[in-house]
Amino acid sequence: MLKALNLENINKSYGSIQALRDINLTISDGEFFSLLGPSGSGKTTCLKVIAGFEAPDEGSVVIFDQEVTNIPPFKRQVNTVFQDYALFPHMNVRQNVGYSLKVQKLKGPSIEKSIDEILEIVNLTGYDFRKPSELSGGQRQRVALARALVNKPKILLLDEPLGALDLKLREKMQIELKNIQRQFKITFIYVTHDQQEALSMSDRIAVFNDGKIEQVDTPANIYSKPINSFVADFIGTTSIFDKVSAMNLFNLDSAFSVRPENVLIFDKEKDLIGINKNEYFIANGTVIDCQFQGSHLKITFSTDANSKLSAFKSLEGNINQIYDVNSKHLIAWKRSDITILNE
């Protein structure tokens, strides 16, 4: 498969702060690829290096087999959509979208046709002459997308473009973004700190932490097969047992994690009848928190001095169900459902 981007041994520091550490990454043409991590993890710096807004201290940036490490942003085959959209407030929608075409000295009917086509794709037909101040947040976001896509870049870089939107609109725009990416069949490189956003939209994800990449994989594998405790804890809800607790509680010589949807809750020993204890880990748990989350409860147990464990319990129509704090239960999960962590 054709490589859209190749980063080799990228390092970047700001004074004594090392923002990127030995970044090596290959992204294929047509991928929806997310750079995911907490604030300060290096993901946005990595995007700026790809775009050309920042020069790496070491390493090389290759876009479609062209070395671009020392080439300025406007000469790279990429466009960027920022969180604040950076629309020109004095220009209407058509003028904003067509700006990059005019910068390229294009003229005549071809510009107007290109603008019409992209406005139809992003569902903004009829909004041509509105100013940004007359648009909703979602509409402004689509104008920024249209402006970035109208000159057909080979790679589109998106720096937390949905961060300013409310939850419902963000979820709607996630679907629209993915549909636009499929329609254009170009590479999207998407920066976010939102795990759900990355999991739901991406073909693959790179998880950043403290300037380095912890894991690159598909969303399913990032979720179900995290390589270490950072990835396990950062992606979704999980419970982590360190090596001491794993040995003391289960005679297991390795740290591991377990997802709450895989945990069963029992009130008494006799409720375990029918459970093959050779296939399960079983522990005593004391409830320390119980949260109502709509279709289910999220219950947090203390299992020993070092470990806490979360479980989801379906309400099954009983919305008044609750687990009292300090109540004691038996908790169990299949041995096959744990993820061994490389610590």
Domains and CATH numbers, the chain: 3-234 (3.40.50.300), 239-340 (2.40.50.100)
Nearest to 311 by CA among 244, 262, 252: 262
Residue with tokens 């203390």: 302
Spans of the chain, pLDDT less than 50: none
Asked if 180 and 173 count as a contact pair (C-beta separation under 8 A), the reply is no
| pLDDT score recorded for residue 343 | 66
Nearest to 146 by CA among 166, 118, 185, 167: 118
Q: Is 254 exposed, middle or buried (0-12, 13-18, 19+ CB in 10 A)?
A: middle
> Cα–Cα distance between 322 and 151 in angstroms, integer?
56
Q: Give, as one character, the DSSP assignment of residue 326.
A: T
Nearest to 308 by CA among 213, 218, 239: 239
| Inter-residue long-range contacts of 84-87, CB under 8 Å, 24+ positions, other chains counted | 84/164, 85/132, 85/140, 85/141, 85/143, 85/144, 85/161, 86/144, 87/132, 87/140, 87/143, 87/144, 87/147
| pLDDT score recorded for residue 319 | 66
Residue with tokens 């067509």: 98
> Cα–Cα distance between 293 and 260 in angstroms, integer?
13
Asked if 290 and 322 count as a contact pair (C-beta separation under 8 A), the reply is yes
| pLDDT score recorded for residue 322 | 80
- Sign, CA dihedral 79-82-85-87, equals negative
> Cα–Cα distance between 76 and 143 in angstroms, integer?
22
Strand 187-192 and strand 155-159: the pairing is parallel
| Inter-residue long-range contacts of 114-123, CB under 8 Å, 24+ positions, other chains counted | 114/150, 115/150, 118/146, 118/149, 118/150, 119/93, 119/94, 119/146, 121/146, 121/149, 121/180, 121/183, 122/146, 122/149, 122/176, 122/180, 123/176
Q: Is 271 exposed, middle or buried (0-12, 13-18, 19+ CB in 10 A)?
A: middle
For 62, the 3-state DSSP assignment is: strand
| pLDDT score recorded for residue 253 | 92
Element (H, E) at 287: strand 280-292
| pLDDT score recorded for residue 305 | 65
| pLDDT score recorded for residue 129 | 92
Q: Is 291 exposed, middle or buried (0-12, 13-18, 19+ CB in 10 A)?
A: exposed
| pLDDT score recorded for residue 5 | 97
- Tell me phi and psi for residue 94, to 5 degrees: -60, -40
| pLDDT score recorded for residue 240 | 92
Nearest to 59 by CA among 12, 91, 95: 12
Under the phi-then-psi rule, with left for phi > 0, alpha for psi from -120 to 50, and beta for the rest, what region is 303?
alpha
pTM of the model as a whole: 0.87
What is the distance in angstroms between the CA of the first residue and the CA of the last residue of the chain? 33
